[in-house]
Amino acid sequence: MEPGEIHALLGENGAGKSTLMNVLYGLYHPDEGEILVDGRPLKLKGPSDAIAAGIGMVHQHFMLVPVFTVTENIMLGAEQVRGGIAGFLDRRRARREVTEVSERYNLRVDPDAIIEDLPVGIQQRVEIVKALTRDVDLLILDEPTAVLTPQETEELLTVMRALKAAGKSIVFITHKLGEVKAIADRITVIRRGRTVGTASPEASRDELAALMVGRSVRLTVEKQPANPGRPVLEVAGLVVDDDRQVRAVDGVDLTVHAGEVLGIAGVQGNGQTELIEAIMGLRPLLAGTVTLDGQQVDGWSTKKVLRAGVGYVPEDRSVDGVVKEFSVAENLVLDLYDRPPFGRGLALRLDEITKSARERIAQFDVRTSSAEAPVGTLSGGNQQKVIVARELSRPLKLFIAAQPTRGVDVGSIEFIHSRVIHERDIGTAVLVVSSELDEVLALADRIAVMYRGRIIGIVGPDTSREAIGLLMAGITPGTATEDGTATDGGTTAEVPGSEDEA
């Protein structure tokens, strides 16, 4: 690492990027080898040694206390104390320090805001400020963009450039190729715990992807034109509230035909989540109907909807998708455990569950030490494959995939996409919701754009990225100035964040 350099670390999930960085940050101890800082070998006993050596880290999952203010979180672990032995916290000095650092690097944060009230992007900024107040020279960002919206990603990239200009070095861990190309000075690719190559940002996406996965990867999904059949899912006049009783879906009409992929594009938080949950019977409908294959299914329990032939990949894998303490085998039958052959009467047939799990693991290329390993020990991409394997292992009429490849590495994305298209080709109606525009463009045969709880337009897959971007911002072709609020989403269309993944 050179001073003032942004060094990107690329690799699939489970390649060892995070482990390497945790060693650097002193959380893990190396079995062999050494770390050199300014030419001197460094022995790290813990994160405090790493901070003393000028290494700071922003974890993928933030280490912040939600009910504390920004200042309190930043001073945590390095509390300023005055009043001698009585040890009063010197909040004022800490606050001044926060303000100073955030101004120096142009990282706007309100020192008095409560963390849990802040959006994810700002929380991340707080983490960065926290590291900077410790006077670090080397900042490690572990998959910083995985949780960010496209706008937030763009802001982060700006911050990184500012930090670089101030002479800080940054290690940027990611598997999103677009970001790497946009910002990195040097790229190191890691695969299965080894450095497999370094590249310059001029390398093409395909080259980088091939290095990461170890073989050439198709970044576009190959598919035949769709043969839409009868309508399978019909949604009419759907109205749904979100958890805070705020209208989230406001009169949506949708039809998905057998053998086609309908993609729902839109900036996160425009009602996509609530729409899907309402279809699945997870959220009460205030008005409207949901019809599956001619049968009205609204008001049904989730179990009944699943049994009627709907496969569902939930948006938040770790919360709704898997039970982390459960084994891979158990997670593979999470919604089938009481159906033959897995359950007979009250009894579970563990042999059948294990047998089927072995088949699924092989079929869906789930990388796990065994079928009995807890799912929580798998990488994100492999957890996602477990969910996809579970949902696709029974005959379906409708397959709903929400953010099917969020936080998933390139190799798994390719695999999951090909399974989605395969499902379409055998005549299943497929509904894909994604905030990655490229994913929607790659998979969908028709694209519905959602904005503020409504379907603002349905377009074909050949529509230009810019046109869809405008729709995502709430601007329909006829009415360019619909209302004043269109501007905040207006940047969405061009952000590089949405160009990755696919």
Partner 1 sequence: MSNAVPPSGSPDKEPATETPAARTALGTTGSAEPATTPGSPEPPRRPSLGQAFLENLWAANTFTVTLLSLFLAMVVGAVLMIVSDPEVVATYSYFTARPGDALQASWALVSDAYANMFRGAVFDPGAVGFQAAMSPISETLTYTAPLVFTGLSVALAFRGGLFNIGAQGQATMGVILAALAGFLLPLPPGLHLAVAVLAGALGGAIWGFIPGILKARTGAHEVINTIMLNYIAMYFLTWLIVQNGVQDPNRTDAISRPVDASAQLPRLFGDTLRAHSGIILAVLATWAVAWLLNRSTLGFELRAVGANPDAARTAGISVTRTYVLIMVFAGVLAGLGGSTMVLGSTATALTPLIVAQIGFDGILVALLGRVKPWGVALAALLFGALQAGGNRMQSYAGISLELGTVLQALIVIFIAAPALVKAIFQLRAARAARLQTSLAKGW
Q: Which residues bind partner 1 (CB under 8 A)?
A: 27, 46-47, 59, 63, 280, 282, 301-307, 312, 314, 319-326, 330, 334-335, 337-338, 343, 346-348, 350
Q: What is the smallest separation between the CB atom of 399 and partner 1, expressed in angstroms? A: 15
Give the Cα separation of 26 and 45 in Å (integer).
Answer: 6
Q: What is the smallest separation between the CB atom of 329 and partner 1, expressed in angstroms? A: 11
- Select 327 or 412, whichever has its Cβ closest to partner 1: 327
Q: What is the smallest separation between the CB atom of 165 and partner 1, expressed in angstroms? A: 29
- Select 192 or 339, whichever has its Cβ closest to partner 1: 339
Q: What is the smallest separation between the CB atom of 47 and partner 1, expressed in angstroms? A: 6
Q: What is the smallest separation between the CB atom of 283 and partner 1, expressed in angstroms? A: 11
- Select 47 or 496, whichever has its Cβ closest to partner 1: 47
- Select 188 or 379, whichever has its Cβ closest to partner 1: 379
Q: Taking the mean position of all CA atoms in its chain, how far away is CA 502?
A: 13
Q: Of 273, 261, 243, 275, which is closest to residue 403 (Cα–Cα)?
A: 273
Q: Taking the mean position of all CA atoms in its chain, how far away is CA 97?
A: 33
- Select 130 or 446, whichever has its Cβ closest to partner 1: 130
- Select 99 or 302, whichever has its Cβ closest to partner 1: 302
Q: What is the smallest separation between the CB atom of 89 and partner 1, expressed in angstroms? A: 20
Give the Cα separation of 428 and 421 in Å (integer).
Answer: 10
Sign of CA dihedral 239, 242, 283, 376: positive
Give the Cα separation of 486 and 385 in Å (integer).
Answer: 37
- Select 326 or 490, whichever has its Cβ closest to partner 1: 326
How many residues does the structure list for the chain? Answer: 502
Q: Under a CB-based contact definition with an 8 Å cutoff, are residues 95 and 73 in contact?
A: no
Q: What is the smallest separation between the CB atom of 63 and partner 1, expressed in angstroms? A: 5
Q: What is the smallest separation between the CB atom of 327 and partner 1, expressed in angstroms? A: 11
Q: What is the smallest separation between the CB atom of 207 and partner 1, expressed in angstroms? A: 37
Q: Under a CB-based contact definition with an 8 Å cutoff, are residues 472 and 437 in contact?
A: yes
CB-based contacts of 42: which residues, under 8 Å, 6+ apart?
A: 34, 35, 36, 49, 53
Q: What is the smallest separation between the CB atom of 326 and partner 1, expressed in angstroms? A: 6
146 CB burial (10 A radius; 0-12, 13-18, 19+) = middle
Q: What is the smallest separation between the CB atom of 45 and partner 1, expressed in angstroms? A: 8
| Rounded alpha-carbon distances, angstroms, from residue 394 to 308, 341, 428 | 11, 12, 12
- Select 291 or 302, whichever has its Cβ closest to partner 1: 302
29 CB burial (10 A radius; 0-12, 13-18, 19+) = exposed
What phi and psi values does residue 395 have, to the nearest 5 degrees?
-65, 130
- Select 113 or 348, whichever has its Cβ closest to partner 1: 348
- Select 40 or 45, whichever has its Cβ closest to partner 1: 45
Give the Cα separation of 43 and 32 in Å (integer).
Answer: 12
Per residue, the 3-state secondary structure of 440-453, as one string, reads HHHHCCEEEEEECC
Give the Cα separation of 397 and 227 in Å (integer).
Answer: 15
- Select 47 or 54, whichever has its Cβ closest to partner 1: 47
Q: Of 185, 177, 186, 183, which is closest to residue 208 (Cα–Cα)?
A: 177
Give the Cα separation of 395 and 107 in Å (integer).
Answer: 51
Strands (E), 111-180: 138-142, 169-174
Angle between helices 205-213 and 410-425 (to 10 degrees): 100
